[in-house]
Amino acid sequence: MIVREVRPGEMGAVGELRVEAYQAQDLLAVKPDYADTLRVLGADGPGKVLVAVEDGRTAPILGTVMLERWHADSEVARGEDEAEIRALAVAPQAQGRGVGRALVRAAIDQAAAWGIRQLLLSTQPAMTAAQRLYRAEGFVRLPDRDWMPGPGLTLMVFGRLLAD
């Protein structure tokens, strides 16, 4: 498996993979319109979209993550020395194969290359497997940054300090 930047013609497949992964875990029930955001996130704004694929040019996308530097509309990042992981998603048939871990590690490496001091992410309370992964990769809970994108949904924030 390799992790690389998304290619121009792959964003549609990335968006559908995100929606499929979130629906498989019933993560869109409280805010179903978030599917529209998942389909386009990173297509035309700030952020670097990464994908995990089997080693080969025509292999299907196994998973994806977006890394986004702080900007005026950031969800949890508060300054230029912070970045956010967004929309981590692994195809249901690829789960349990280390895809999520590879994507998180690639995001950490990219953030470090950018000179980011703290990498942040939001997660739903129901995403317990993702939370285990984040903790295993050195992220800690930052409850003072938890936030509500809409009624009935509180997102938990995790952060990881990166080496100076």
pLDDT at 153: 84
Residue 81 CA from chain centroid, whole number: 18
Whether pLDDT at 126 is above 80 = yes
The full 3-state SS of the chain, as one line of letters, equals CEEEECCHHHHHHHHHHHHHHHHHCCCCCCCCCHHHHHHHCCCCCCCEEEEEECCCCCCCEEEEEEEEECCCCCCCCCCCCEEEEEEEEECHHHCCCCHHHHHHHHHHHHHHHHCCCEEEEEECCCCHHHHHHHHHCCCEECHHHCEEEECCEEEEEEEEECCC
Query: Considering the entire predicted model, what is its pTM?
Result: 0.92
Reported as a pLDDT band with limits 50, 70 and 90, residue 88 is very high
pLDDT at 112: 96
The domain made up of 2-161 is a member of CATH 3.40.50.150: no
pLDDT at 42: 86
